[in-house]
Amino acid sequence: MKLAIQVNNLVKVYDGKVKALDGVDLNVEPGVAFALLGPNGAGKTTLIRILTTQLKPTAGEAYVFGLNVIKEGSKVRKLVSYVPQEMSVWTDISGYENLLIYAKIFGVPRLEREKVIDEVLESMGLDDVKNDLVKTYSGGMIRRLEIACAMLIKPKIMFLDEPTIGLDPAAKKVVWERLNFFKKEYGVTIFFNTHYMDEAELYADEIAIINRGKIVARGKSEELRRSLGGEIIAFTVDKATIKPDLIQNIRKLSFVKDVFENGNLSVLVSDAETALPRLIDVLKDEKVSVERVSITKPTLDDVFLKYAGTRVEEKGRISDVTHMRTMIRKG
């Protein structure tokens, strides 16, 4: 069986300066939901735009269902659908009219058109508002309409760039229920970019973590978390009391697997119950004032912190919301 996506040593350099992708290798099996997780500017969008034949890579190769995206672009475009991060529907016509125009561009045969449009409208829950102008839709409805447009041709693979950016949790959930429906019903492979941990964790069968143009880890969410092993003891500490060599000293301890400092002091150990009293002793000796302690299993965020050296959701939370608002205002 052909791989849905096969990427070999892909490099993209913009204007000879900015290296967006720095040797990406990636295989994606057909029929899965695959998340590319990374902070803003990690190269996620660039990868999707190359896979959807919009951009040419500087070096390397990429295949979608065995078709070369550079040499066989027109064939690739017959198999794929794409929902960009930015709004991609016309807001001054109705939802139904958007679907009609896209159906014609995609070349859906005239006799099937009405049936296909009704189908996607219904499965996306937009039946009641199909004749309203899109500018009256909410952010979640616009997203669902965009996905409806992408489903008109029952693609073999659907590329979604930050599908739920700026949506509230309820709208997010509805969008994903519909996407999963398409995945199950038609076997559509879903490849999506996100910088939301929970989204990757909840909806992706597999996850690849990308940072600075490189895939730094990949696997099922459970596997990734297990790859860290053990438990995390997080100390909320008074930052002023941390000495520069504290982290090094803790790392040297035999029972400590790793330490990350990111506001909190997070220590990865294999057995928290025996490690905690000893760590508290060390912190006391170092005169660090501890305000609070918690023990958790590693989360995807911890995985990300380990492989990429930064927390994924730090950047962009506020900018997401403003981004979505600008999008709607522009319409």
The DSSP bridge pattern shows strands 33-37 and 189-194 to be: parallel
Alpha-carbon span 286 to 280, nearest angstrom: 10
Q: Given the rule CB under 8 A, which of 61-69, 100-108, 166-174, 195-203 is the region that contacts another protein?
A: 100-108
What is the nearest approach in angstroms of another protein to the Cβ of residue 150? 8
Q: With binding defined as CB under 8 A, does residue 54 bind another protein?
A: yes
Among 84, 125, 219, 316, binds another protein (CB under 8 A): 84
Residue at token pair 């029952």: 154
Count of residues in the chain: 331
Give strand pairing partners of 61: 8
What is the nearest approach in angstroms of another protein to the Cβ of residue 37? 21
Q: Given the rule CB under 8 A, which of 51-59, 118-126, 199-207, 208-216 is the region that contacts another protein?
A: 51-59
Q: With binding defined as CB under 8 A, does residue 85 bind another protein?
A: yes
**Contact letters for another protein, residues 57-76 (x by CB under 8 A):** -----------------x--
**Contact letters for another protein, residues 270-309 (x by CB under 8 A):** ----------------------------------------
DSSP assignment letter at 165: T
- Reduced to 3 states (helix: H, G, I; strand: E, B; else coil), residue 120 is helix
Alpha helices (H) in the chain, listed in sequence order = 44-51, 73-79, 95-106, 110-123, 139-151, 169-186, 197-203, 221-228, 246-252, 272-285, 300-308, 317-330
What is the nearest approach in angstroms of another protein to the Cβ of residue 54? 6
Alpha-carbon span 305 to 301, nearest angstrom: 6
Could you list the residues that contact another protein (CB under 8 A)?
A: 49, 52-55, 74, 77-78, 80-90, 92-94, 97, 101-102, 104-107, 133, 149, 159, 327, 330-331
